[in-house]
Structure 1
Amino acid sequence: MLFFVIISLVIAQRLIEVLIAKRNEKRMFAQGAYEVGASHYPYMLALHSSFFVSLFAEVLYFERSISLIFPVLFVIFLIVQALRIWCLTSLGQFWNTKIIILPGSNVIKTGPYRFIRHPNYVIVCMEILLLPLMFQAYLTALVFTCLNFAMLLVRIPQEEKALREATDYKSDF
């Protein structure tokens, strides 16, 4: 029961974020923005959707239960969710699930972006690891951590390149 409540809340959060992203996307396109990396975006959607399918399947098929260290993992997960909201609110209208560039705008360097270049990606990595571990879904944790890492090896360089070309953004990479 706890599994269904937590996962349902996370999925609801993701659906709300998609609505926010769509709103921000429309607003930015109206201001002259353009999308970069559209070719990998369907794969990213498939990865994140498959993550939840795999998590459900592993927990239900193998009758996984909460981990012995669930309370610790859950507290870390809640902290990660607060950080996720901090990322979203720091980017404001620029936050999106796609790489959307608005020429002439400044790169956000406030909030968690003051400390780390891509905090939202770090948070997603932590979620993909924490959620399965909370319910002993070790296969899902391993497979999707690796798949997400591979996706970020494509996505981050595309985002960095687009930001450098469209803004005064300087990369430390």
Structure 2
Amino acid sequence: MDPINILIAINIVATFAANIGAAKKGVKDKLAVFRDKPKTYLQTLPLVISTVNLLILILAVFQIGTLDYEQKFFSLRIISLIVYLIFSWIQIWSFKTLGEYYSQEIAVRKEHKIISAGPYKIIRHPQYLSQIFVDLAGALATLSYILFPLALIQIPFLILRAKEEEKLFKKYLSEEFESYKKQSGFMIPFIG
């Protein structure tokens, strides 16, 4: 098997193991008491696309749906691997930083507060930015011609989902959120 693909496979297993607590919490969230949880396609569609992207990345590790690994793509694949690894762990860091406020749902809990530590000091949606880079970089590192267009299609849905979350924060945590918004970028530091 290709060494780049082996590193991606190892990282998939490692990040999955690191994220088990968040996955368990997502199940518990079904029983949580929320102040507001809008009914929107943005609750499920981005999550479904992300799951499909992960499955396609796993197939790409086995060189299913990929271009031939020619030497001329080696530098692109190495750079993409590094970006993939960095952002997959930033995503885990983001989930862990949210702690009890992590949810797979767009929702505001009864006792919610704005988290502005860790990666959230710099940008408001590091988890979505990380998802974008993980999928794009994973596609380029494996040369997956199936994953790359799906990763691009996912971007506007993640941006819309982030904006939907911000609407809830503005509605229920307006002063705290407005102060936080002035100190952080939307998905890019210092912008938005």
Which segment drifts farther, 32-41 or 159-168? Answer: 32-41
Partner of 1:94: 101
Partner of 2:186: none
> What are structure 2's unaligned runs of at least 5 residues?
183-191
Q: Does 1:59 align with 2:63?
A: yes
Quote the Cα distance in structure 1 between the aligned partners of 2:86 and 2:150: 21
Deviations 1:100-139 (A, max 9, x none): 3113422001111111111111111100111011111245
Q: Does 1:155 align with 2:161?
A: yes
Q: Does 1:165 align with 2:171?
A: yes
Contact 1:28 1:94 in 2 (8 A): no
Partner of 1:41: 43
* Superposition pairs of residues 1-173 of structure 1, within 5 angstroms: 1=1, 2=3, 3=5, 6-7=8-9, 9-10=11-12, 13-14=15-16, 17=19, 20-23=22-25, 26=28, 29-30=31-32, 32-33=33-34, 34-55=36-57, 56=59, 59-62=63-66, 64-65=68-69, 67-69=73-75, 70-141=77-148, 143-168=149-174, 169-170=177-178, 171=181
Q: Structure 1 residues 112, 9: CA separation in 2 closer, same or farther (over 3 Å shift)?
A: closer
TM-score by length of 1: 0.77
Contact 1:77 1:130 in 2 (8 A): yes
| 2:107 counterpart SS class | strand
CA RMSD of aligned residues (A): 3.1
> What are structure 1's unaligned runs of at least 5 residues?
none
Q: Structure 1 residues 115, 75: CA separation in 2 closer, same or farther (over 3 Å shift)?
A: same
TM-score by length of 2: 0.71
The aligned amino acid for 2:153 is L
Contact 2:83 2:133 in 1 (8 A): no
Aligned length: 171
Quote the Cα distance in structure 1 between the aligned partners of 2:68 and 2:55: 15
How much does 1:4 deviate?
6.0
How much does 1:63 deviate?
5.5
Contact 1:87 1:111 in 2 (8 A): yes
The aligned amino acid for 2:106 is I
Contact 2:15 2:92 in 1 (8 A): no
| 2:22 counterpart SS class | helix
